[in-house]
Amino acid sequence: MKGDIELSKVFRDSDGVDLTPTDRLTFAKQILLWLGFICVGVFVAHGLYPDNAAISEIFELIKIGALPLVTLVVSFYFPNSGK
């Protein structure tokens, strides 16, 4: 097929992406930082405009979806040291 790309010619290693534990931790910190900014922004907006239906729905979505995701990421990267 015309337009196919041979990946072995584009990339030197075909083993895939290699991430060190430091890279993974940095990526997790960045995700948590931006999720934190979004959560705080939505909480402040909900506090300023509690009667706004759209902000209330986004607040519920953040409360139900994003906060458990944050705890999951934190518990994955910082497991119980008592093991």
For 66, residues 6+ apart whose C-beta sits below 8 A from its C-beta are: 35, 38, 39
pLDDT in tens, 12-66: 665 666 778 888 788 878 888 888 898 899 999 999 999 999 999 999 998 898 8
**In which band, very low, low, confident or very high, does the pLDDT at 82 lie, cut at 50, 70 and 90?**
low
Domain ranges of the chain: 20-77
Phi, psi dihedrals of residue 76, rounded to the nearest 5°: -70, -45
Q: What are phi and psi of 67, to 5 degrees?
A: -65, -40
Judge whether 3 and 31 are in contact, CB under 8 Å: no
